[in-house]
């Protein structure tokens, strides 16, 4: 494990030192009383420090807290497909990415409900804005993905990350959650980046298909009825459009994390595909590497898109988006279906929701492009339906 020490999740040997640092960190302790479901921060600290092992910390503190965290702003959290997986095996969950924090937290709550061991989660080091955050996430089964590196450093880091994921799944039987792309798809047009696959095969034998199949890949589809960060994503899209040199600040990520945790999500559903190892091995391994990777990304995308759960807002968004200039193709497609998939009242409620979200975007009136922002918000909710239709034809 020495070769993974700077990125791996913590083990029992790290436990006491990390717990001592974390539970004596003033900023962490000052934040605990602000968490709605932490009734007595001092008692929680005493309970946590008395636990003898990392496993006990997960069982008695982390999982109960994550379960309460996942319930905030969520009217229901459901899944299908996990019950069909072998509880004794490790899997590589390759997932669309909606929320910085909640995507993996909710998956782990669902896995624990099924009697499965929680997955380890990839987290970018750009989010570790305080040392205590690094301790907290590594105690909570997260491993670190290094960002902002030079080309040479990135190659080294990618090889290390690839080897860690392979060791976790194949040797330790530990499941891993990995987003299909770096960062969230701001308009929910979820596409797997080939760079993710290139990283995964770095630690293999050289046979792309068997190397990926041996990781027991599972496509995971995450469907939110409402994305609490939708208005922040729309704002970022306009800022990037208007200011070519725009870059987010650490406090922007912190706001997104807080909003994603505390905001209203409505119904949330996870769909896990069967293990895709067999499907991968059916592909033509003699194809040129780039063409083969394109076929693999297409397979993953199709599985993720077909696994979406759709809500009335998705149908309302597609109808509203199809009326806007530049979306004539959508209008023709909608006309061919013949019947609405949401009621007039559901559509009215969703239109009101979009207007409220546009109003929340804090840009000066002279800069705020409400038409652009509204269009991007509609795309966020329409794209899952558009991709679902293409995947299930």
Share of the chain above pLDDT 90, in %: 79
Query: Worst-scoring range by mean pLDDT, 61-75, 208-222, 362-376?
Result: 61-75
Q: What is the mean pLDDT of residues 338-352?
A: 86
The residues spanned by each domain of the chain are 2-227+266-306, 229-262+311-393
Q: Which of 70, 137, 133, 73 is nearest to 105 (CA)?
A: 70
Q: What angle do CA 289, 290, 292 make, to 5 degrees?
A: 65
Q: The domain at 2-227+266-306 falls in which architecture?
A: 3-Layer(aba) Sandwich (3.40)
**Residue 156 · residue 7 · CB < 8 Å:** no
Q: Return mean pLDDT, the chain.
A: 93
Please report the pLDDT score of residue 1 as a whole number. Answer: 53
State yes or no: pLDDT of 350 exceeds 90. yes
Instruction: Say if residues 218 and 303 touch (Cβ distance below 8 Å).
Output: no
**66-118: pLDDT as tens digits:** 888 888 899 999 999 999 999 999 999 999 999 988 999 999 999 999 999 99
Of 124-138, 157-171, 200-214, 370-384, least confident by mean pLDDT is 124-138
pLDDT-based confidence at residue 253 (cuts at 50, 70, 90): confident
Within 13 A of 84's CA, how many CA atoms are on the CB side?
10
Decide if pLDDT at 16 tops 60.
Answer: yes
Q: What is the pLDDT of residue 147?
A: 86
Closest CA to 93 of 193, 169, 11: 169
pLDDT tens digits along 324-344: 998 888 866 665 554 568 899
Give the whole-number percent of the chain exceeding pLDDT 70. Answer: 97
């Amino acid at each position: 494990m020495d070769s993974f020490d700077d990125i791996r999740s913590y083990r029992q040997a790290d436990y006491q030192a990390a717990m001592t640092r974390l539970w004596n960190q003033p900023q962490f302790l000052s934040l605990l009383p602000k968490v709605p479901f932490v009734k007595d921060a001092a008692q929680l600290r005493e309970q946590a420090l008395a636990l003898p092992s990392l496993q006990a910390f997960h069982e008695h503190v982390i999982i109960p807290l994550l379960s309460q965290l996942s319930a905030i702003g969520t009217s229901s959290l459901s899944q299908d497909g996990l019950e069909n997986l072998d509880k004794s095996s490790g899997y590589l969950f390759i997932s669309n990415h909606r929320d910085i924090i909640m995507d993996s937290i909710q998956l782990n709550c669902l896995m624990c409900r099924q009697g499965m061991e929680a997955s380890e989660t990839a987290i970018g080091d750009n989010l570790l804005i305080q040392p205590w955050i690094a301790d907290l996430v590594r105690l909570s089964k997260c491993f670190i993905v290094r960002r902002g590196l030079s080309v040479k450093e990135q190659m080294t880091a990618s090889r290390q990350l690839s080897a860690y994921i392979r060791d976790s799944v194949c040797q330790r039987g530990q499941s891993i959650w990995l987003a299909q792309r770096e960062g969230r798809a701001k308009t929910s047009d979820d596409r797997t980046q080939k760079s993710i696959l290139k990283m995964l095969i770095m630690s293999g034998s050289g046979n792309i298909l068997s190397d990926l199949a041996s990781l027991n890949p599972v496509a995971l589809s995450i469907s939110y009825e409402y994305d609490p960060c939708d208005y922040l994503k729309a704002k970022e899209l306009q800022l990037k459009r208007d200011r070519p040199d725009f870059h987010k600040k650490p406090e922007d990520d912190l706001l997104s994390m807080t909003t994603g945790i505390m905001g209203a999500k409505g119904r949330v559903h996870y769909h896990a595909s069967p293990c895709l190892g067999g499907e991968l091995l059916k592909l033509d391994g003699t194809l040129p590497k780039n063409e083969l990777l394109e076929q693999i990304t297409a397979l993953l995308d199709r599985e993720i898109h077909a696994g979406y759960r759709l809500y009335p807002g998705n149908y309302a968004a597609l109808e509203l988006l199809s009326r806007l200039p530049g979306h004539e193709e959508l209008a023709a497609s909608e006309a061919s279906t013949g019947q609405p998939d949401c009621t007039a009242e559901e559509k009215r409620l969703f239109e009101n929701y979009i207007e409220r979200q546009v109003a929340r975007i804090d840009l000066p009136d002279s800069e705020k492009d409400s038409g652009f922002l509204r269009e991007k918000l509609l795309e966020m909710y329409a794209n899952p339906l558009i991709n679902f239709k293409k995947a299930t034809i």
